[in-house]
Amino acid sequence: MDEIPAILRYFPPGCQPTRVEPLGSAGGLSGASFWRIVAPRGALVLRLWPIEHPTPEGLQFIHAVLQHAATRGMNILPVPIATTAGATFVRHDGYLWELAPWLPGNADYEKFPRVEKLRAAMTALAQFHLAVANFPTTPPLAPSRDPAPAVTHRLTHLHDLQTGGIDSLTRSIINTAWPDLALLAGQFVVELPRVVPLAIARLAPLADVPLPIQPCIRDVWHDHVLFEGDAVTGLLDFGAMQFDTPATDVARLLGSLVGDDATGWHEGLAAYSAVRPLSNQESLAVFALDTAGTILAGCNWIRWIYVDARQFETPSQIVSRFAQVLKRTQYIR
């Protein structure tokens, strides 16, 4: 924690700490580290981004989108606090740091799921999408509707699986590394020859379909939504934000909230569409991206653990998440 006072000195007097509480990864898996700061202006959160991501330009984009949304009424976002020099982050020893207000609430949907919370989460996502739909770009996007990056990228990865990728993943699984995961991973790759063609068949018709393109969170799931009671009090973690189709956010969040529960999908889509109606093409994209995203999430975990040998603070959390991916993959028909 020796560097914390040096970082906070970049910020206004009201941000100077009376107490600093290290939170480690705060339960996340991005590689970021967090500190809860108690200061005269209130509770704050200091975030140290991993050195690999994002770039300074990428973080400027993320912060600009959050500020844009805030000016349009979104008050549940971790909008960064400016330094005394007017910057929204600090560069220190090659790392990027940001300071933001501490958002109230708990990410407790998985522990206490309720249909009211489901509707509130999907409503908040729709409100965010509306708030940033007119975010200015430099250079401007032309046109504002285009084949969605999420569709083209996922199709590319699915085709790669068909042309040797499945065999490569299968060979990478080593029983002596992460043995609790190896059994699940083995069951997962057995499913791939069956489900990959299904995912391609759902996505391929959308490859040339123009969809609205705008800033999207791209990693929004139940652990990134804070609640007090049934009300959403915060949306967290925008590190993956890029221009894409809002359908990718709808698929990611709704899939994490309700899995394969048909009633939950109906309720969630209705709540979202009441704020931001989905076109027929966007609705098709939501379901296709959910299928493909589930499959590719499992593939990513296998690569990260068995090929890249990434280390995580909570291995049991990874095993639990992979078990959920396996269950959803087996459900694909």
Q: CATH 3.90.1200.10 in the chain: give the residue spans.
A: 115-331
Q: Return the closest-CA partner of residue 177 out of 310, 323, 327.
A: 310
pTM: 0.94
Alpha-carbon span 183 to 175, nearest angstrom: 8
> What's the confidence (pLDDT) of residue 27?
61
Which residue is it, tokens 């991916």? 325
Rg of the chain taking only CA atoms, in angstroms: 20
State pLDDT tens for residues 125-162: 999 999 999 998 754 444 466 789 999 999 999 999 99
CB 332 within 8 A of CB 195: yes
Q: Bin 27: left if φ > 0, else alpha if -120 < ψ < 50, else beta.
A: left
> What's the confidence (pLDDT) of residue 28?
62
> What's the confidence (pLDDT) of residue 136?
86
Alpha helices by DSSP H, listed for the chain, are 4-8, 56-71, 115-132, 149-160, 166-172, 179-203, 246-258, 262-275, 280-302, 315-331
Which residue is it, tokens 């590394």? 177
Which residue is it, tokens 């909008």? 79
SS3 4: helix
Q: CATH 3.30.200.20 in the chain: give the residue spans.
A: 4-101
SS3 35: strand
> What's the confidence (pLDDT) of residue 144?
62
Residue 230 class from Cβ within 10 Å (0-12 exposed, 13-18 middle, 19+ buried)? middle
The 3-class SS string of 180-205 reads HHHHHHHHHHHHHHHHHHHHHHHHHH
Handedness of CA 226, 322, 201, 307 (dihedral sign): positive
> What's the confidence (pLDDT) of residue 32?
83
The three-point CA angle 175-179-182 to 5° equals 65
Q: Which residues contact 81 (CB under 8 A, 6 or more apart)?
A: 11, 12, 15, 44, 88, 99, 100, 101
4-101 falls under which CATH superfamily? Answer: Phosphorylase Kinase; domain 1 (3.30.200.20)
Q: What is the pLDDT along the chain (333 residues), one digit of tens a residue?
A: 578 989 999 999 999 999 999 988 766 666 789 999 999 999 999 999 998 889 999 999 999 999 999 999 999 999 999 999 999 999 998 899 999 999 999 999 999 999 999 999 999 999 999 999 999 875 444 446 678 999 999 999 999 999 999 999 999 999 887 788 999 999 999 999 999 999 999 999 999 999 999 999 999 999 999 999 999 999 999 999 999 999 999 999 999 999 999 999 999 999 999 999 999 999 999 999 999 999 999 999 999 999 988 887 778 888 999 999 999 999 999
Alpha-carbon span 95 to 7, nearest angstrom: 11
Alpha-carbon span 159 to 201, nearest angstrom: 11
Alpha-carbon span 6 to 241, nearest angstrom: 28
CB 293 within 8 A of CB 259: no
Q: Return the closest-CA partner of residue 157 out of 203, 215, 189, 188.
A: 203
> What's the confidence (pLDDT) of residue 139?
46
Give me the architecture of the 115-331 domain, per CATH: Alpha-Beta Complex (3.90)
Residue 132 class from Cβ within 10 Å (0-12 exposed, 13-18 middle, 19+ buried)? buried
DSSP per-residue letters across 214-269? EEE-S---GGGEEEETTEEEEE---TT-EEE-HHHHHHHHHHHHHTT-HHHHHHHH
